[in-house]
Amino acid sequence: MLPDPEGFLYPQTDIKLCTGCEECEKVCPARSNAPEKKHAQIGCAVQHINRTVLKRSTSGGAFSAIAGYVLRNGGVVFGAVMSDNYKVVHACADSFTDLARMRGSKYVQSDIDDSYIAAERYLKAGRMVCFSGTPCQIEGLLAFLGVSYPILITVDIVCRAVGSPKIWDKYTKMRQESVSSKITRFSFRDKTAFGYQMSTMSAYCGEELMYCGGIATDPYLRAFFSNICDRPSCYDCRFKKRYRNSDFTLWDCFDLNRFSEEAEGMDAALGVTCVLAHNEKAAALISKLSDELTACVIDPETLAASSREMTRSVSLNHNRENFFKDAGEMTGEQLFNKYFPVKLKNRAEDFIRRAACKTGLYHFIRKCAKRIIPSFKRY
Ligand SMILES: Cc1cc2nc3c(=O)[nH]c(=O)nc-3n(C[C@H](O)[C@H](O)[C@H](O)COP(=O)(O)OP(=O)(O)OC[C@H]3O[C@@H](n4cnc5c(N)ncnc54)[C@H](O)[C@@H]3O)c2cc1C
């Protein structure tokens, strides 16, 4: 797998070694024409009971509860982590300490590395495996395995799109240069600063907050949410669908009251995950997690209809080509200053969003703004 000039990995075939078996093409999910098949689903909104887990999870911590079940049963978990040099890669966890690194969404394409091969090895040895990732990564795994394993639990997310590792690298270098201590952790959706509703990028050195920027000012969040740095296939994603081959689909629940008046025991302001269980195995597993999760059952039709990103691809930003052309020549600072300068209006928007968060009116104001200005960002 080699990066292209935009920093996205693509497979390269060594023609001298190729036997022409076409196995790689046969298992490529992007080439599959299998139609979406309807099946029974269970829908629910959940929140992790453990406040520390909840704080570090993007939404309600459903992933941690599912993964925790697998670890307690002697299994291993695969998911996206950030390496010491801030690369987003898939890794394997066999302990709760390692699992913690997988928590939280990283809005960058994760390098799957040899995770499929490692997962297959565990499955063949009879060890339970939880594999989490974007819908395309899960379809890739299932096609690679070729056979179904009852001891495999797959968890995909509703994925808006994945950002370029090259642009992320430019951002992390710029951010690191602006602070004196080594950044040990980035959080793409930090709840600690302004709560769950407002997308906030934070950088930490240990527990010390080094940087914090909201959706209106942070250049990486602005680039990601303006669809300028996504993988080309994300603009016409064939894995965006409601009926999936995974066991679970997870996504953000920003509007719990819309589904249920009686979501007892859940504090929506701390984050809630929407869950679609796609089969009986997943439904049975979720019912075993009542010690970890507070849950309320929701009609899957209503739940799925609440997510535009589940079925609709992002639209191409008309400046994307120029952006990547400049990315080849500019430093992160030059690039972000050119395309996402922080002007007075951005600071004012940031101030209003933060104030709205503090007063608890963020959700209400965002809803009104969306009605008045259709292009207003939902994040
Ligand atoms: C790139 C991306 C785009 C997303 N877009 C949307 C969206 O448009 N709308 C929406 O409602 N929700 C979106 N989500 C999902 C959402 O952010 C939460 O991941 C989801 O609600 C589950 O949260 P949680 O609290 O249960 O678990 P968390 O602890 O937040 O779960 C993290 C899980 O996500 C996986 N993950 C994290 N980063 C990556 C990555 N780069 N590649 C592959 N897997 C990753 C981890 O392996 C783990 O399984 C997106 C997530 C990602 C990673």
Q: What is the pLDDT of residue 377?
A: 57
Distance 345 CA to ligand 1 centre (A): 30
Distance 365 CA to ligand 1 centre (A): 25
Q: What is the pLDDT of residue 358?
A: 73
Q: What is the pLDDT of residue 349?
A: 85
Q: What is the pLDDT of residue 19?
A: 95
Q: What is the pLDDT of residue 33?
A: 82
Residue nearest to atom 43 of ligand 1 (CA): 133
Distance 201 CA to ligand 1 centre (A): 15
Sign of the alpha-carbon dihedral angle for 168, 192, 200, 68: positive
**With pLDDT > 70 as the criterion, what percentage of the chain qualifies?**
95
135 lines ligand 1 (CB under 6 A): no
End-to-end CA distance of the chain: 33
Cα-to-chain-centroid distance, residue 67: 16
Q: What is the pLDDT of residue 371?
A: 66
Read off the pLDDT of residues 227-258 as tens digits, 9 standing for 90 and up.
Answer: 999 999 999 999 999 999 999 999 999 888 88
Residues of the chain where predicted confidence (pLDDT) is lower than 70 = 261-262, 362-367, 369-379
Burial class (CB in 10 A: 0-12, 13-18, 19+), 274: buried
Q: What is the pLDDT of residue 374?
A: 60
80 lines ligand 1 (CB under 6 A): yes
Contact present, 94 and 318 (Cβ < 8 Å): no
102 lines ligand 1 (CB under 6 A): yes
Write down the H helix ranges in 260-359: 280-287, 300-305, 320-327, 332-339, 344-359
The encoded tokens of residue 289 equal 């997690």
Distance 251 CA to ligand 1 centre (A): 7
Q: Is 206 left (phi over 0), alpha (psi -120 to 50) or beta?
A: left
Q: What is the pLDDT of residue 256?
A: 87
**Other Cβ atoms within 10 Å of 377 Cβ, number:** 16
Distance 179 CA to ligand 1 centre (A): 27
Q: What's 207's DSSP letter?
A: T
Distance CA 325, CA 115 (A): 32
Read off the pLDDT of residues 32-79 as tens digits, 9 standing for 90 and up.
Answer: 888 899 999 999 999 999 999 999 999 999 999 999 999 999 999 999
162 lines ligand 1 (CB under 6 A): yes
- Going by their DSSP bridges, the two strands 293-298 and 42-48 should be labelled as antiparallel
Query: Residue 104: how many CA atoms within 13 Å on its side-chain side?
Result: 23
